[in-house]
Structure formats: structure tokens, C-alpha cells
A and B are shown apart, each in its own frame.
Chain A
Amino acid sequence: MIENSQPKPKTIQPVAPQTKHVSLVTRPRKILRGVLAGLAIITIYSLATLNNGNLVFADAFKSLGVNLNAMFLHPGVGQDTFGQLLRALVTSVSLAMLTTLLGAVIAFFIAVGAARNLAPSWLATTIKAVMAFIRAIPTILWVLIYSVVMGLGASAAVVGLTFHSVAYLVKAYSESIEETSQDTIEALKASGVGFWPIVFQAILPSIVPALLSWTFIRFEINFANAVAVGAAAGADDIGYFLFMAGSFYFNFHEVGLIVYLLLAVAIVLELVSMKLRGHYLKHN
């Protein structure tokens, strides 16, 4: 039945060992090598044809050193007083806090509709899709879009930041809600408890640690965003001062000081969030 077209010898004869080329290179690795080689060629080509504007590299690096030195080793106030800078910093933190809190409250209610174990699946899918769309567009763009409607300034910054925070937190919150056990929800349903009391009395207490840690992560993101947005939307916060000092007055001492202030706030936020999370995971 199984007849090969070529006749085979019936006895096994010693076959001369074939010296075939053995390659260790697999297909993905070949592709990777090709990509790297291509990138190397592009790099070499662009470096060779670089228009350096008759820059003297030694001088350029020296000035870079001078600027970095002025920024980070000799930070100081420029046109603005230290008090003004601190007030601007507080504005940034407030902007982050306000948008995170607003976002968190709105997001919680929307997340209830986006959680598959609570809402009908068509609603959950629709909300999740809309939120994914909003998240896909960066915060700064939302701020600019809202500034078309509301004019540049703090209101556009607040609405734009809140908008993106809501989309981000809805995803985080709804996934936390989906992790709660269906059985505990059913236990209360079986005793005639309505929908919202179940959400607030059964689901919320079970997911407090998760909600808290997501909200705090978003607070940190919002602080970073607030700085960037302040510069773009002119919200009169620390980002605006940073922009003015760096690109308008070229006062690098002030740029350095502002960067240090931002760093200090970031470290404080991180410490607070660690403490808060640790506390809730232990005691709740």
C-alpha cells in the first residue's frame, strides 16, 4: 500500500555521514538580526550626513555642563519669588487632587455600569469601549480640546484632567468590582436587598484597598499631568512657571529649583501612598 516511487534497499546499509550545514539561527532571530542591521545602517547614514550647523562639539558640551551646573547645583529663584513658586506648586497639587477626587467619584458610578457581574453585558461592553477610546487620547490633548470650548486656563485643565482620569479609573474600578465574589452578592440578593445597597454595603467594603491604591496611582499621574497641562493651558501653576523660566527667561537656576520642588512633592506622594496602602491592607 505504501509504495515509494524510489525503491529502497531492504537491508539497512551504513550511510555515508552527510556533512550538512547545521544552523543555530532560527527564523525570529534572522528577522531580529535583519532589523538591527537595518537600524545600524540608518544610524550610520544619518550621522554621516548630519548637519551640525558648524557646531564645535567641545564647546557645546562645555556649555551643557555649565547649564546643568546652573540648573542643579545652583538652583535659585529668578524673576519670581520663592513664595510665588510655592503657591504655584500648591496650585498644581490642588489641581491633581481636585481632578482625582472628581474623577474617582464619577468613575465609581460609571464603573458599576461597566462591571460585568453587575450590569447587563451590552451596557458594560459599551461603557468599556467608550472609556478605552477616551483613554487612547492623551490627557494633554483633552485639555487642549476643552480649551477650545472653555478658553485656555484652569477650567479647561480641570475638565480635561478629570475626563481622562474618569476613563482610567473606570477601567481600574470595574475590574476590581468584577473580582468580588458573585456568591456574596447573591447572598444579599437572596435576602431581598436592592442593587445600590448591595453595591455600597457588600462590594465597596470588599474592594476598598484596591480602589485606594488605584486612586493614588492616578493622583501621582495627575500631578505629573497637571505640571505639563499647566504649561500648555496656562493654568498658572508650577508647570507654567517652569515653561516661562525655561523657554522665556532662560533662567536655568529657577528651572533647577522647580525640578527639585517637583521631586520633593513626588517623593512625599510616594511615601504617603505607601503608608496608606499598608495601613488599609493591614487593618481593613
Chain B
Amino acid sequence: MGSNLKTRLRRGMMRLMGRVMPSCKEISELVSASMDGNLPMRRRLSIRFHILMCSFCRRYEKQLLLLRIGTKHYAEPDENPVEASLSAAASERLKRALERKP
């Protein structure tokens, strides 16, 4: 009985709180927005308050921040072993152009 009751209780509580606080869906939008500029204090507080109680949104925020860190590594050519190089034709063309003396 436990998990069913728990789910119903949780939903009931969330429904009640939905009137006063944003849903997970809204929080996911706000978490993203908070990474692109300063949100008003009221918004920031509502994220923090929600995240205090909601482990999914807590994970979501943490993982978006991880995504940001991972993307920084990905963006660095020395760290990202993309297997690709400038075509031979383009290299030759460029070499000729760059060897011309002014």
C-alpha cells in the first residue's frame, strides 16, 4: 500500500503547492534562464525553495551545470579528439596564398 499512498499524497501536496509555487516544468525553465543572466530575487528564491524539496529538480539543475562544464571541455580543440583535418586541397591553396611575399 505504501508507494501508492505515498504517490497520492505527494501529488496532493504538489497540487496544493502548485497554487503558490511553480511546477517542476516551470522550474526547469527558470533554472535554464538563471544560467543566462540575473533573475529577480523572487525567482531565484522560488528556484531554491523548490529545489530544497524536489530531488528531481535538484538533479536537473546539477546536471545542467555539469553539461556546462562538459561543453567547455568539448569546445577546447586540445581536449576534444575530433578526428578531422583540413582537406589537402585547402591546405595547399592556403600555403600558396600565405607564402606570397607582400
A-B interaction: no
Could you tell me which A residues sit within 8 Å of B by CB distance?
none
